[in-house]
């Protein structure tokens, strides 16, 4: 059974940093693309960043380019999201997701597995 478990969320001041982690288990993810999404209150879930598990190809949403970095450690079966220069608009629940295939998709409907989410709150 596939399980994705996020951690690392919290309360941070604007301009600060956080690193989110997503531990994946239950199968071999070498053929998967992993992604981070976020959902703010009253808004739709939106794509943040994605990475292929095998080759490390990466994609970012325009809103986080230059501030957020996605990475993965295959030995630890863990994906990360390093978030720097955080803004109030980054406040949301952040979700880890996985889809079979080597291309990323911006629609959450294209992802097969999800974590439970971790709250990130940025204060001014």
pLDDT at 24 exceeding the cut of 90? yes
Confidence of residue 114 (pLDDT cuts 50, 70, 90): very high
Confidence of residue 56 (pLDDT cuts 50, 70, 90): confident
49-53: average pLDDT: 95
Three-state SS for the chain is CCEEEEECCEEEECCCCEEEEEEEECCCCCCEEEEEEEECCCCCCEEEEEEECCCCCEEECHHHCCCEEEEEECCCCEEEEEECCCCHHHCEEEEEEEEECCCCCCCHHHCCEECCCEEEEEEC
Confidence of residue 107 (pLDDT cuts 50, 70, 90): very high
More confident residue, 27 or 40: 40
């Amino acid at each position: 059974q596939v399980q994705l478990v996020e951690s690392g969320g919290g309360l941070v001041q604007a301009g600060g940093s956080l690193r989110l982690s997503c531990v994946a288990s239950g199968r071999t993810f070498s053929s998967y693309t992993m992604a981070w999404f976020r959902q703010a209150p009253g808004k739709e879930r939106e794509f943040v960043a994605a990475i292929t598990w095998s080759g490390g190809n990466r994609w970012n949403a325009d809103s986080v380019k230059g501030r957020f970095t996605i990475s993965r450690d295959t030995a630890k079966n863990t994906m990360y999201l390093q978030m720097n220069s955080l803004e109030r608009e980054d406040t949301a629940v952040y979700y880890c997701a996985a889809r079979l295939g080597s291309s990323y998709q911006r629609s959450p409907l294209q992802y097969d597995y999800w974590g439970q989410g971790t709250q990130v709150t940025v204060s001014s």
